[in-house]
Structure 1
Amino acid sequence: MDLLKQRIREVGVVLSDDIIKLDAILNHAVDPALTTAMGKEFARLFREENVTKVLTIESSGIPIAFATAQELNVPMVFARRKKSLNTDSTEMYSERVPSFTKGFVTDIMVSRECLDANDRVVLIDDFIANGDAARGLIRIIRRSGAELVGVGIAVEKSFQAGGRTIREMGVRVESLAKIASLHQGRIEFE
């Protein structure tokens, strides 16, 4: 997606050969026009799949997933990272996943009321690096009995294994921008 690549070139801050900071458009602030465009593109890519739910993980995936769900006219569900006082763990699907950028392991949870065997789910997220969060969400989808129709990623760091490992599982992965390298502070796209 050319618009996303352009915005990454404009605001992306390369912190290392493995990490790019996109706070101005994805991870801290939200660019409404860009987010809407990404949602429309994901909806175009997955429209023929008869999606009934869009699933993401809090928090940076929520705006893009919402824009996608709005365009597809279906509900959006997000996996929580923290238990709240009104959370009953017996009523939740839960998975333990490490976070590449946060550097710790966390539990992600989705209410059993939000996913069931009648659902056709597209998973939408902002980034994929190692793919741990995506694999955790895929396990939750499968345990719920829902059908995963594909994964939409705004920014795939294709020099890391995440996207490849999800594809090797036989899952359709659509990435709007694929970063091939961040070597020496330069953003190189596929």
Structure 2
Amino acid sequence: MESLVARIKQDGTVLGEDILKVDSFLTHQVDPKLMREIGRVFAEKFKTAGLTKIVTIEASGNVPAAYVAEELGIPMIFAKKAKNVTMTDDLLTADVYSFTKKVTSTIQISQKFLSEQDKVLVIDDFLANGQAALGLISILKTAGCEVAGVGIVIEKSFQTGRALVEETGIPVFSLARVAGFDQGQVVFREADL
């Protein structure tokens, strides 16, 4: 997706050897025009897949996932990282290690929102070591859902996430694939969409 790659080149900041900071348009401040375009690209790819739900993890995945859901006219569910007092239903949970935060969170989705009749697309902002995607896949499989794929806004292809997700038999579709960093610059490889 050329507009996304251009935005990463313009506003992305490389931190160390393995972190890409994109807080000016995706992970803190959000560019709704770009997120709507991202939603359209994923929706076009999956428009005939028979999807019934879009699933993500809070927080940075919420916006692109919501735009995909809007384009397809289906609900979006986000896995919560902390239980609150209103979450009284049976919960499906998984432990997920955050690469950037260096913490493990127990993510949860109320079982009432997922069923064996659901065909789901996972959407997330980043794919690095694959733990978020694998946690969501675990929850979805426990609920009996069919997982059509994992859609990623930015994939760090030099890390293990893609291979780990693909080992589950679920395909990964990334809009921007980062091959690595060279002297503070992002090096891209060909994207899936």
Give the TM-score normalised by structure 1.
0.97
Q: 1:127 & 1:26 partners in 2: Cα distance?
A: 10
Give deviations 1:148-177, integer Å, cap 9, x for gaps: 000100000000010121112211110000
Distance of 1:183 and 1:117 partners within structure 2: 45
Name structure 1 gaps, 5 residues minimum.
none
The equivalent of 2:9 in structure 1 is: 9
Q: CA deviation at 1:87?
A: 2.0
- Tell me the alpha carbon deviations over residues 5-49 of structure 1, each in whole angstroms, 9 at most, x when there is no partner: 000001001011100100011100110110000000000111121
For 2:48 and 2:167, the matched residues in 1 are separated by 22
Q: Sequence identity, in percent?
A: 43
Higher strand fraction (1 or 2): 2
Aligned position for 1:80: 80
Aligned: 1:123 with 2:125 = no
- In 1: Cα distance, 2:182 partner to 2:109 partner: 37
Matched, 1:62 2:62: yes
- How far the C-alpha of 1:55 sits from its partner, in A, is 0.2
RMSD: 0.9
For structure 2, the residue ranges without an aligned partner over 5 or more in a row are none
CA distance in 1, matches of 2:99, 2:79: 17
| SS across alignment from 2:10 | helix
The total of aligned residue pairs comes to: 189
- Secondary structure of 2:86's counterpart equals coil
Letter in 2 for 1:132: Q
Shift of 1:138: 0.1
3-state DSSP of counterpart to 2:24: helix
- Which residue type is aligned with residue 31 of structure 1? D
Letter in 2 for 1:17: E
2:42 match:
42
Secondary structure of the 1:187 match is strand
Amino acid at match of 1:115: L
Question: Normalized per residue, which structure has more helix?
Answer: 1
Stretches (4+) displaced over 2 A? none
**Paired letter, 1:19:** I
Distance in 1 separating the partners of 2:34 and 2:186? 19
Q: Deviations over 1:103-150 (max 9, x none)?
A: 000000000011111100000000010000100000000000110000
User: Aligned partners of 1:173, 1:67: CA distance in 2, in Å?
Assistant: 19
- 1:178: which partner in 2? 177
TM-score by length of 2: 0.96
Per the alignment, in what secondary structure is the counterpart of residue 123 of structure 2?
strand
Q: In the alignment, is the contact (CA less than 8 A) between 1:20 and 1:182 conserved in 2? A: no
- 2:30 aligns to what? 30
State the distance in 2 between where 1:115 and 1:34 align: 29
